[in-house]
Amino acid sequence: MIKVTADSTCDLGPYAAERGIDIMPLSVILGENTYRDGVNITPQEIFDYVAKTGTLPKTSAPSVEDYEEFFGKYVSAGDTVIHFNISQKSSSSHEHALVAAKKFGGKVLVIDTKALSSGQGLLVMKACDLAESGMEAAEIADTVNGLRPKVNTSFIPDRLDYLYKGGRCSRMTMYAANLLKIHPLIYMDDGQLVPGKKYRGNMDKCITAYIRDLAARYPDYDRTRCFVTHSSADASLVEHAKKLVDELFSFDAVLETVAGGVVTGHCGRNTLGVLFIAE
C-alpha cells in the first residue's frame, strides 16, 4: 500500500481527510506559547497576536525524531510513504524529513514541492490520483517531481503589513502600497516567493485583473482541480473569485481552502490566490 502524507503547510483543509492524507503539523509560536498548525491554533488568534504585539508569529519545523515517529507507524504497517514538504527554501521541514527517511531503507520517499499552501496541496492530491490509478510509488514520485515547475502558486495580499513585518518589503513600500491601494502579485519561482505585477484599486478589482491575467497566461492547464485559497478573506471576495474562475476556466472542481497558521502568519488577512497545475 502507498500512504500519501504532507506537512501542514499544504493547506488542504477537509480534503486531506477525504483523501486519507495524514498531516504532520509544523509549530506556530505566539510569544511563549507553541501551537500545532491546523490542530489548536486559529487564524483569528494569529491576527489578534499580531495586532497586540506588532510582531509576526514564529514557526518551527518538526524535528528529525518527530518525522521518524510519524513515518515509522506507516512503514510498520507495511506501507510505502510518499511525503510532501513545503519548499526547502522556506523551511527546514524538508531537510529533517529527508534525514528521518534514511532510517527506513527506501520505504519513505520525500518530495520538496518547491511550493507552499495549496500549490503544495495540488501535488499531494495528484499523488493520490496516481496512487488510486495503480501507479507504483517511485513512478508517482518521478511524475510529481516533473510537475513541480508547472504549478501556479500565486496570491494577492490585501495589505503589506505582514510582508513588511516579515522583511519582504520596506516600510516605505508598505506605506505607499497601503495608501495608493497597490496590491502586488506574489508568486513562487523555483521554491521561493518573489514579487510580480502590481495591481491597483480595491481587492475586487485587483482579484478580477489577477484571475484574467492567469487565464491569459495559462490557456492550457490540468483541468482536474483548482484551489481558491485565502487567509480568512471576506466571503464576498471569495465568491467573486470562484465565480470568475468558473467563467474563465474549465476545471472539473474549484475547491476553496483557508490557509493554515504558517501561511496566514506570513501574509495577513484577506489574502487570496488561485492555484492550479499548468500543462
Asked if residue 62 has pLDDT above 70, the reply is yes
Asked if residue 169 has pLDDT above 60, the reply is no
Assigned fold of 2-148: Rossmann fold (3.40.50)
DSSP-H helix ranges across the chain? 14-18, 43-53, 64-76, 93-101, 117-132, 137-147, 161-165, 171-180, 203-217, 235-248, 261-267
Closest CA to 240 of 252, 228, 250: 228
Q: What are the residues whose beta carbons fall under 8 Å from the beta carbon of 247, sequence distance 6 or more?
A: none
pLDDT at position 180 is 63
End-to-end CA distance of the chain: give it in Å, rounded. 29
Whether the CB-CB separation of 73 and 5 falls below 8 Å is answered with: no
CA distance 170 to 196: 16
User: pLDDT band at 176, cuts 50/70/90?
Assistant: low
Q: What is the mean pLDDT of residues 88-116?
A: 95
pLDDT at position 42 is 86
Q: What is the mean pLDDT of residues 185-200?
A: 88
SS3 content of the chain, % helix, strand, coil (to 5): 45, 25, 30
Mean pLDDT of the chain: 91
pLDDT at position 172 is 55
Which is higher by pLDDT, 41 or 225?
Answer: 225
Asked if residue 164 has pLDDT above 70, the reply is no
* Strand pairing class (80-85; 2-7): parallel
pLDDT at position 174 is 55
User: pLDDT band at 171, cuts 50/70/90?
Assistant: low
DSSP β-bridge partners for residue 195: 186
Domain 151-277 sits in CATH at 3.30.1180.10
Domain ranges, ordered by start, for the chain: 2-148, 151-277
Q: What is the mean pLDDT of residues 184-190?
A: 89
Q: What is the mean pLDDT of residues 138-154?
A: 97
Handedness of CA 196, 118, 148, 254 (dihedral sign): negative
CA distance 279 to 71: 32
